[in-house]
Amino acid sequence: MEKSIITKPNPGNKSNVRVGRKRPKVTIRLSKIKYEEKVIQVKRVTKVVKGGKKMTFRAIVIIGDNKRKVGVGIGRAEDVNLALDKAVLNGKKNLIKVPLTFLFSIPHVVKASYGACSIMLRPAALGTGVIAGGSVRTVLELAGIKNILAKQFGSNNIFNNAKATILALTKLNEKIELGKSQCLRKQIFYEKIMKKYKNVRIT
């Protein structure tokens, strides 16, 4: 048995013996990791009010840490920098967790629609890359997905396509949790293909 020597501090003597203890295991907190921000659109919006026109700016920012967390934020202000700050703050409030497999892809095919935009996400083999365009590609890359196939349908609106991608990734979580509770076969399947992070605590 290892014994640790503990000495009481003496104000007159500066050289005190420290306590010999083993360091605990360090757990990585994803909340402390800095998020990567990408501005996909800054648009000038004009509103007709009594006495003239009021001009404001609208900014759309996608935030992610390349490790299962991603979010889309929108901000409006009279100044561009203030609109960007509001968009970043809004994006951090709406972060979601994305399920990743060992191949850095998604577990199954998923479809979602937001407004007039529809999107389909399909898992891909290792080495395929991110085959997508526009704001959908940005969302998938910041989420940490490296192999996936995506297809857009309907409108090409940047914000709606980004929100449709977020909605599709949210459906993945719901279907996985539902599948685990439905039967033991699905639970074993998802536990086998899902990527597990060791010594990582998501807060």
**Where along the chain do its domains lie?**
30-96, 98-197
pLDDT tens-place string over residues 102-134: 888 888 899 999 989 999 999 988 888 999 988
pLDDT of residue 35: 82
pLDDT of residue 201: 46
Q: Evaluate whether 96 touches 143 at the Cβ level (below 8 Å).
A: no
Residue count of the chain, please give it. Answer: 203
30-96 placed in CATH 3.30.160.20: yes
Give residue 51's pLDDT: 85
**Residue 36 · residue 142 · CB < 8 Å:** yes
Please report the pLDDT score of residue 75 as a whole number: 92
Q: For the chain, which residues score pLDDT lower than 70?
A: 1-33, 195-203
Prediction pTM value: 0.72
Instruction: Classify 98-197 by CATH class.
Output: alpha beta
